[in-house]
Chain A
Amino acid sequence: MRDFAYARPSSVADAANAFAGGGEAAFIAGGHTLLPAMKSRLRMPDTLVDLGSIPGLSDISRAGDTLTIGALATHATVAGDATVAAAIPGLASLAAGIGDPQVRNRGTLGGVIANNDPAADYPAAVLALDAVVTTSAGSHAADDYFQGMFTTALADGEIVTGVAFKVPQASAYAKFRHPASRYAVVGIFVAHFADGVRVAVTGAGPGVFRWAEAEAALSADFSVAAGAGLTLDPADLNTDIHASAEYRGHLAGVMLGRAVTAAR
């Protein structure tokens, strides 16, 4: 790893200042994406701004139909949190399936969605649950936030501080995970709200996206039968050494059925 300057601010404002004055700077939370990228010199920041000592950024709370999770909440925390389990069990089980136990002890919600890996799990939940991403500069609706592979609405130096999820009537995440990396080959998050169903797809394409056809079918009738036979158009999907676009398109339909079955 190339050496860098290191700052450990104790407030979001100080973190933004350290970033602004740090040359080519990067924020670090759990570091489980950034540090491997720095080891392989895909990323070579001049300054690393560690968000880990900022108080209050890992709180979890519910107010009415909104579940708010701080950006620094680890996957293990979300997976084991009683408030999350009671409000959105699909979100708790998603967090429990990220990486492995040691990774879940470090990786954070904010880190995942700031990075926006096209095969990450959380973006599917944030999008399907119609969440609002709060930041040091304001907030972004999920529908505007995710903008394709490793691209988000965040401006340079803008810090994710939390995510406010809408609590659905029922939800679930079904993922066909890569057996080595545990990333999603295809992951489907289904969220059933009083006024309709939202379905988000991760892993299949160049970034997380909503599946309009599945949403229409399930909004009319929230059942496995209603979604049966749906597949995604392979023209928009990824082909790599793990799976072809056609395979992913079919797999999306299978995962959709599993998610509807598991929804609670």
Chain B
Amino acid sequence: MQTRLTINSTSQTHDVAPATLLVELLRDDLGMTGTHIGCDTSQCGACNVLVDGVAMKSCTVLAIQADGKSITTIEGLASGDTLHPMQAAFREHHGLQCGFCTPGMVMAGLEIVRRRGHDLTTEDIAHDLEGNLCRCTGYVNIIKAIQAGAKAMEPSNA
């Protein structure tokens, strides 16, 4: 079945079986392995991508349901060698250990900024990360990174 979508600003058409998950299209068909599959049961958030700017779990969206939509994955955030401010903040604040959950955490961070703006409390971030699991760090540095990343994304800081 044909699905036409825009992935990281490039419009494209793919022929997919209806049962293909969006994350399977990204990883298996397109080789974009930055989006991870942690649990495959909508719990962990490692597969978060933005669909028309809104974060969703790509393990629980069919590729054909994304027809006509614009998808942003972790590969689409940096400009050349310049990291997105949210990515840079994760590096600066060491918001990762093994890194497996990180793509989903970065996308969740962008979702929090979309909904709450640039001045985030640690409580707001901790609350809104309830759909993202990290099994290494204990979240402290992830929360710091999102707080700093949100601030760095403010237009006046760009």
Contacts and interface: CB of A to CB of B under 8 A. Distances in A.
Interface of A: 1-6, 8, 28, 31-32, 35-36, 38-39, 48, 50, 52, 99-103, 105-106, 180, 182
A4 B111 CA distance: 32
B48 interface: yes
A99 B18 CA distance: 26
A39 B62 CA distance: 12
Interface string B110-127: 011001000000000000
A1 B32 CA distance: 21
A106 B64 contact: no
B2 to A, nearest CB: 11
Interface in B89-139: 108, 111-112, 115, 128, 130-132
A31 B62 CA distance: 9
Contacts of B64: 6, 8, 50
B18 A101 contact: no
A180 B39 CA distance: 13
B18 A102 contact: no
B82 interface: no
12 contacts: A6-B1, A6-B18, A8-B64, A8-B67, A32-B60, A100-B130, A100-B131, A101-B130, A102-B56, A102-B108, A105-B56, A106-B57
Interface string B48-65: 100000111100111011
Contacts of B21: 1, 35
9 closest residue pairs by CB, A with B: A100-B131, A6-B18, A1-B19, A100-B130, A3-B19, A102-B131, A102-B57, A35-B60, A105-B54
A102 B40 CA distance: 14
Given A103-B131, A105-B54, A105-B56, A5 B18 contact: yes
Contacts of A3: 17-19
B60 A101 contact: no
A106 B50 CA distance: 12
B115 A101 contact: yes
Contacts of A39: 40-41
A102 B22 CA distance: 15
A6 to B, nearest CB: 4
B108 A103 contact: no
A28 B21 CA distance: 14
Contacts of A180: 43
A2 B19 CA distance: 7
A263 to B, nearest CB: 23
A106 B56 contact: yes
